[in-house]
Homo-oligomer: A and B are copies of this chain.
Amino acid sequence: MWVNKNKKKILRAVEKFGTPLYIYSEENLLKQIAEYKKAFRGIDVLFCYALKANSNRHLCSLIAGRGFGADVVSGGELRAALSSGFRPEKIIFSGVGKTEEELALALRKNIFFINVESFEELEKLDETASRLGKRADFSIRINPDVDPHTHNYIATGKSGSKFGVDFEEASRMYSWARKRVRLNAVSAHFHLGSQLFSPVPYRKAFKKLLKFVSSLEKSGINLKSLDIGGGWGVKEGLDMGSPAVIAEIIRPYAGKYSFIMEPGRSVTASSGILAARALYRKTSGKRNIVILDAAMNDFIRPSLYGASHPVLNLSGGKGKKVRADIAGPVCESGDFFLKDFKTVLPERGDVLVILSAGAYGYSMSSNYNLRPKPAEVLLKKSGVRLIRKRQSYPEII
């Protein structure tokens, strides 16, 4: 674990930049990227990093520099991807509610393709492409109706979900698009959700997709590439498991198709922590409560999903263990990081770090309670680099 190995560096960064502070490890990030490349060796696959997990420009530049493409879900993310060095021909644009302006931007920038999520969106894409005189390369996001057994909020590939269309509708859409001169089908796509730890749902969905694509071929629609989405899980406090189990599902078809994958969380989650200081200790009823200076506005996953992220005290913490709730200062009972956590009671001023905060951490942060978003730093071999300043008050008031 990079955190224990870099304890001194982390404490120095906290001393210099204050808390709360997002801290990332360059080495660990590059390790996750290398894992993906290794697992899929021999397969023609483009990894499109899902910016929604963490769109910090410096991290994105690192990822783009290793040959990854980008998966974006808004005009903002498309702009961020381009400005951090992802090449347009490696960018795909997903999401259920792309506005006309966003579709136009994607067309003007000549990105790889647009993942279309409804018939009405396909019509809008056709209109927009015609208006601009551009060819629209597209894929259709198909909802394969496979249950990934994850949190309901992050399961996206079951029937009834707002994402994608079913196979029948997709078939109608590809057929309709064939008659439209501006529309060019290049891929078919599924994405099952987030935090998947088993290859089984991927295998089920991929089989369904293969069958569908074969039926399209019979009617003369030949897709060159298949987009099997992202969602490979990372347990809080650990690095991701090897994605080789997913590679082996698609390897038999590597001669026939090129592939796209959209990893997000698995690339960045374990490479980031949120550092905070203990402000006050108190008891309430029989509970010990430790108030940190980081809060749900900085990191909302525990409040929003009930996610349980391990917390380490880097300042020492020797002595008898007690049970304590680790809470933030925001005026909301839901502002908790851990409940009933077995720990040596931290001293005031101790530096505690919340693990696996590299994904859906800063990207979901807000200014609730008019708290500025924290700074972000990157640990490099050569030292610590500030990669985003803490927000200032004039920015948020």
Contacts and interface: CB of A to CB of B under 8 A. Distances in A.
A366 B367 CA distance: 7
A350 interface: no
Interface stretch (A26-34, A235-243, A280-288): A280-288
Contacts of A98: 279, 329
Nearest to A76: B370
A199 interface: no
**Protomer copies:** 2
A336 interface: yes
Nearest to A160: B285
Nearest to A194: B332
Interface stretch (A113-121, A129-137, A219-227, A253-261): A113-121
A76 B155 contact: no
A369 B331 contact: no
A146 to B, nearest CB: 13
A39 interface: no
Nearest to A368: B364
Contacts of A118: 280-282, 291
Interface in A14-42: none
A44 interface: no
A55 interface: yes
B55 A143 contact: no
A164 B143 CA distance: 48
B282 A119 contact: yes
Interface string A109-152: 00000000111110010000000000000000001010000001
Contacts of A363: 367-370
B372 A76 contact: yes
A95 interface: yes
A208 to B, nearest CB: 15
Contacts of A370: 51-52, 55, 74, 76-77, 79-80, 363
A334 interface: yes
Given A55-B370, A333-B154, A397 B79 contact: yes
B282 A97 contact: no
B152 A120 contact: no
Contacts of A214: none
A333 B74 contact: no
Given A282-B118, A371-B76, A293 B397 contact: no
Interface string A266-281: 0000000000000111
Contacts of A284: 143, 159-166
Nearest to A57: B397
A184 B106 CA distance: 62
14 contacts: A73-B329, A95-B329, A95-B331, A97-B328, A117-B282, A118-B280, A118-B281, A120-B281, A154-B334, A161-B333, A162-B289, A162-B291, A162-B325, A364-B366
The 7 lowest CB-CB distance pairs between A and B, nearest first, are: A97-B329, A76-B370, A153-B334, A159-B285, A366-B366, A118-B282, A120-B280
